[in-house]
A and B are shown apart, each in its own frame.
Chain A
Amino acid sequence: MQELATKPMQEPAKSVLDELPGELLMWVLIISELLVFGAGLLAFLGVRLTDPAGFAEAQEHLNRTSAAFNTIVLVTSGFLAARALHLREQSKRRSARWHLAGASSLGLVFLAIKVFEYWEKAQLSITSESHPFFTFYYLLTGFHAAHVIAGVVILVLVAWKDDPQNIEVGASFWHMVDLVWVLLFPVIYLLA
C-alpha cells in the first residue's frame, strides 16, 4: 500500500528510448537498414541452396584480396570516427575534425577500390543479370556502397557542424555501414 501511495510522487519513469545515445530517428534508420541487409543476406543464402555449384563458380570471379583490404580500410575509418567523438567530448575540436576528415577520406578509398572491383567485373562482361549470385552481389554491395557515399557526406557535415551530439549521430551511422560490410564480406566473398 505504501508503495502505491508514494508512486505519484516519483518522477515519471524514464523511457528506455531516452537513454539511447545520439538521435532516436537514427536508431530507427539503423534498425531498418539492418533488417534490409539481414533479409538480403538471408535471401542470398536461401537462393544459394538451390544452386551451390553455380554460386561457388560465380564467387571465384570475385576479388577477395581487394575486398579484404577494403575491410581493413572501413574498420580503420570507423575507429577514427569513434576517436573523433572521444576527442570532441574532451573539447579537442581541431583534432576531432582531423579524425573525421581521415574517416571520410578512408570512405572514399573504400569507394575507389569498390569501383575498381566493379570495373574488373565489367571487363569480364559480368552484369547483375549474369547469374543470381551476381544479382545479389551487385544489389548488396551496391546498396552498401550507396550508404558509404551517404556516410562520407554525413561525416563531412558533422565535421562542419561539430557539436558532440551531431558527431555521435554521424558516427552511429558510420558504424552501421561498417557493421554491414563486416557481415557482407564473409558471406558474399568467403563462404565456401
Chain B
Amino acid sequence: MKYQSQKVATAYFAAALGLFGIQVIGGLLAGWVYIQPNFLSELLPFNVIRMLHTNSLIVWLILGFFGAAYFLVPEEAERELHSPKLAYLQLAILVLGTLGVVVTYLFNLFEGNWLLGREGREFLEQPKWVKAGIVVAALIFLYNISMTILKGRKTAITNILVLGLWGLALLFLFSFYNPSNLSLDKQYWWYVVHLWVEGVWELIMASILAYLMLKLTGVDREVVEKWLYVIVAAALFSGILGTGHHYYWIGSPGYWQWIGSIFSSLEVIPFFAMMAFAFVMVWKGRREHPNKAALLWSLGCATLAFFGAGVWGFLHTLHGVNYYTHGTQITAAHGHLAFFGAYVALNLAIISYAAPMLRGRDPYNQVLNMVSFWLMSGGMVFMTFVLTFAGTIQTHLQRVLGENFMEVQSQLDLFYWMRFGSGFVFVIGAFLFIYSIAFPRKEVIETSIAAKAPAE
C-alpha cells in the first residue's frame, strides 16, 4: 500500500463483509422456507426475508465497489484521496441508510408514508429518505473520486471505473420515478436493475479485473488496456439494447422481442472476453505474485461470470424460450450464479488482494481463503444445477402441461432439499472467508519480504 488514504477501503470492506454475512443467512432462511413453507411465516414472512436477501446483496456489492475504488484509485492516480473524511462520512450515511432499511422492512412501522414507508417495487423497496441518502452518498463518492483522478494520473482503468460508477449513480435516479401505469413502471424499473448489472456494473467489473490482472500477472499496462477497451465496447453494445429481453411480456410493442433476443444473446461476448482475458494474462504473465488466493478468486470470477451470466443467461434469453421459462426456477438458477460469479467473486477477489496490504501483513490464511473459494464456488455451482433441473421440471409441468403452481412446487421438494444443502455449504464458505480476512495470524511483515512482493 503506497498511500495512507487507501486505508479508507478497510472500513468499506468490513461493512461489505458484515452485510455479506447477513445476506447469506437470509438466503439460508429463505431456502428453508421452500422446504417448510410456514417457517417464521408470522414473524418474518418470506417476502421480507427475500427483500433482505436481495437488498443486502446489492448494498454490500456496492460498498465493495466503493471500497475497491478507494483502494485502487489512489494507486492508479498516484496521489492521496481528495478527502478521506468525506469517504468516512459517505460510509456513515450508507450504514445509517442500511440500518433504516432493515428496521423498515422488519417492523414496517410507516406503511404508506410517502417519505418513511417502504416502496413496493422489487429491489427498490427502500423508503424515499434512504433513496435520497444513497444519492447524497453517491454524490460525495463521485466528487471525492473524480477530484482525486482529475488531480492525478489518468489511466484507462480509472477512467472506465469512474464511468461505470457515474453510470451507477445516475441510473439510480430512475428509482424515484414510479409511474402508475404498470408497463411504464416496469420499463423504468429495468433502467435501474438491468442497466446496472448488465451495463455499468460490467464496466466496474472489467476495470477492477483489469487492475487485478495488472498487479497479479505483471503483464504490460498497454496490453491490459487494449483488452479492457474491447470488453467495455462489447458490454455496452450488447447490454444497453439487451434491456429489451425484459420487455417481452410487460405490454411493450412486439419488436422488443427481437431487439431483446438478438442483443442480449450478444451479452455472452463480453463475459467470454473477460474470461479469455483473465486466462491469457495469467499465461502471458511474468510475475509470480505471492497472493495466490486473489488470483484464484479473479480467475474464478471471470469463469463463473461467463457461465452464470453468459451461458445461463443465454439459456432463457430468447423470447421463444422465455415464453415458457419466465419466472421459474431457471431464473433463480441464473440469478444466483450470475451474481456470485460476476460480482460477489469480484469483490472477494479485490478484498483478498487488498486486505493483506491494508493490514500490513503477508498474504495470510491463504489456505483458508482458498478453501472458502472452493466451498462457495462448489456450493453455488451445485445450487445452480439443482435449480436448473427444478426449473426444467417446473417449466414442463406448469407451463407446458398447465398443472397448478402449488402442485408443481410439491413435486420439486427433493431439489429444494438439495438446494438447502448446497446453500449451507456456501454459508460455511462465506464465514470461513470472513474469518480468514478478519482474523489474520499474528505475523508482522518483514521488509525483505515486502520488497519481494512488489506493490505495483
| Chain A contact residues, CB within 8 Å of chain B | 17, 24-25, 28-29, 32, 35-36, 39-40, 43, 128-129, 135-136, 138-139
B residues contacting the other copy or chain, number (CB 8 A): 18
Query: When chains A and B are docked, how far (Å) is the Cα of A128 from the Cα of B256?
Result: 11
In the complex the two chains form, is B258's CB within 8 Å of A24's CB? no
Additional A-B contacts beyond A24-B230, A28-B234 (13; CB < 8 A): A24-B226, A24-B229, A28-B233, A32-B269, A36-B262, A40-B262, A128-B255, A129-B254, A135-B254, A136-B258, A139-B255, A139-B258, A139-B259
Is B328 an interface position by the 8 A CB rule? no
A32-B238 in contact given A25-B233, A128-B255, A129-B253 (Cβ < 8 Å): yes
In the complex the two chains form, is B237's CB within 8 Å of A29's CB? yes
Query: When chains A and B are docked, how far (Å) is the Cα of A39 from the Cα of B226?
Result: 27
B269 CB → nearest A CB, Å: 8
Is B265 an interface position by the 8 A CB rule? yes
Chain B, residue nearest A138 (CB): B255
A39-B265 in contact given A32-B237, A135-B258, A139-B258 (Cβ < 8 Å): yes
What are 5 A-B contacts defined by CB distance under 8 Å?
A24-B230, A29-B233, A29-B237, A43-B258, A135-B255
A32-B259 in contact given A128-B253, A128-B254, A129-B253 (Cβ < 8 Å): no
In the complex the two chains form, is A35's CB within 8 Å of B266's CB? yes
B425 CB → nearest A CB, Å: 39
Query: When chains A and B are docked, how far (Å) is the Cα of A136 from the Cα of B230?
Result: 29
| Chain B contact residues, CB within 8 Å of chain A | 226, 229-230, 233-234, 237-238, 253-255, 258-259, 261-263, 265-266, 269
Query: When chains A and B are docked, how far (Å) is the Cα of A129 from the Cα of B259?
Result: 14
Which B residues touch A35, using CB under 8 A?
Answer: 266
Chain B, residue nearest A44 (CB): B258
A179 CB → nearest B CB, Å: 18
Query: When chains A and B are docked, how far (Å) is the Cα of A166 from the Cα of B11?
Result: 47
Which A residues touch B266, using CB under 8 A?
Answer: 32, 35-36
Query: When chains A and B are docked, how far (Å) is the Cα of A40 from the Cα of B265?
Result: 12
In the complex the two chains form, is A28's CB within 8 Å of B258's CB? no
Which A residues touch B237, using CB under 8 A?
Answer: 28-29, 32
In the complex the two chains form, is B261's CB within 8 Å of A43's CB? yes
B-side binding surface: helix, strand, loop or mixed? helix
Which A residues touch B229, using CB under 8 A?
Answer: 24-25
A-side binding surface: helix, strand, loop or mixed? helix
Which A residues touch B261, using CB under 8 A?
Answer: 43
Query: When chains A and B are docked, how far (Å) is the Cα of A130 from the Cα of B278?
Result: 47
Chain A, residue nearest B230 (CB): A28
Which A residues touch B226, using CB under 8 A?
Answer: 17, 24
Which A residues touch B263, using CB under 8 A?
Answer: 36
Chain A, residue nearest B229 (CB): A25
Chain B, residue nearest A27 (CB): B230
Identify which of A17, A32, A40, A129 gathers the most chain B CB atoms within 10 Å of its CB: A32
Query: When chains A and B are docked, how far (Å) is the Cα of A40 from the Cα of B266?
Result: 12
Query: When chains A and B are docked, how far (Å) is the Cα of A39 from the Cα of B242?
Result: 14
Query: When chains A and B are docked, how far (Å) is the Cα of A28 from the Cα of B253?
Result: 30
Which A residues touch B234, using CB under 8 A?
Answer: 28, 32
Query: When chains A and B are docked, how far (Å) is the Cα of A128 from the Cα of B259?
Result: 13
Which B residues touch A28, using CB under 8 A?
Answer: 230, 233-234, 237
B204 CB → nearest A CB, Å: 20
Which B residues touch A135, using CB under 8 A?
Answer: 254-255, 258
Query: When chains A and B are docked, how far (Å) is the Cα of A17 from the Cα of B254?
Result: 39
Which A residues touch B259, using CB under 8 A?
Answer: 139
A117 CB → nearest B CB, Å: 18
Chain A, residue nearest B237 (CB): A32
Query: When chains A and B are docked, how far (Å) is the Cα of A39 from the Cα of B269?
Result: 15
Query: When chains A and B are docked, how far (Å) is the Cα of A40 from the Cα of B269?
Result: 17
Query: When chains A and B are docked, how far (Å) is the Cα of A3 from the Cα of B188?
Result: 62
Chain B, residue nearest A128 (CB): B255
B46 CB → nearest A CB, Å: 39
In the complex the two chains form, is B262's CB within 8 Å of A43's CB? yes
A23 CB → nearest B CB, Å: 10
Identify which of A17, A25, A36, A128 gathers the most chain B CB atoms within 10 Å of its CB: A36
In the A-B complex, list the 6 residue pairs whose CB atoms are closest, starting with the nearest: A39-B262, A32-B237, A28-B233, A139-B255, A135-B255, A28-B230
B263 CB → nearest A CB, Å: 7
Query: When chains A and B are docked, how far (Å) is the Cα of A36 from the Cα of B226?
Result: 23
Which A residues touch B258, using CB under 8 A?
Answer: 40, 43, 135-136, 139
Identify which of A17, A35, A136, A138 gathers the most chain B CB atoms within 10 Å of its CB: A35
A101 CB → nearest B CB, Å: 29
Query: When chains A and B are docked, how far (Å) is the Cα of A139 from the Cα of B234?
Result: 21
Chain A, residue nearest B261 (CB): A43
Query: When chains A and B are docked, how far (Å) is the Cα of A175 from the Cα of B184?
Result: 38
Chain B, residue nearest A40 (CB): B262
Query: When chains A and B are docked, how far (Å) is the Cα of A1 from the Cα of B327?
Result: 61
A85 CB → nearest B CB, Å: 23
Query: When chains A and B are docked, how far (Å) is the Cα of A89 from the Cα of B226?
Result: 27
B267 CB → nearest A CB, Å: 11
Which B residues touch A136, using CB under 8 A?
Answer: 258
Chain B, residue nearest A139 (CB): B255
Which B residues touch A40, using CB under 8 A?
Answer: 258, 262
Query: When chains A and B are docked, how far (Å) is the Cα of A167 from the Cα of B168?
Result: 34
Identify which of A28, A43, A135 gathers the most chain B CB atoms within 10 Å of its CB: A28
Query: When chains A and B are docked, how far (Å) is the Cα of A139 from the Cα of B265?
Result: 17
Chain B, residue nearest A140 (CB): B258
A127 CB → nearest B CB, Å: 9
Chain B, residue nearest A47 (CB): B258
Query: When chains A and B are docked, how far (Å) is the Cα of A166 from the Cα of B254?
Result: 39
A30 CB → nearest B CB, Å: 11
Query: When chains A and B are docked, how far (Å) is the Cα of A36 from the Cα of B230?
Result: 17
Query: When chains A and B are docked, how far (Å) is the Cα of A28 from the Cα of B259?
Result: 20
Query: When chains A and B are docked, how far (Å) is the Cα of A134 from the Cα of B179?
Result: 30
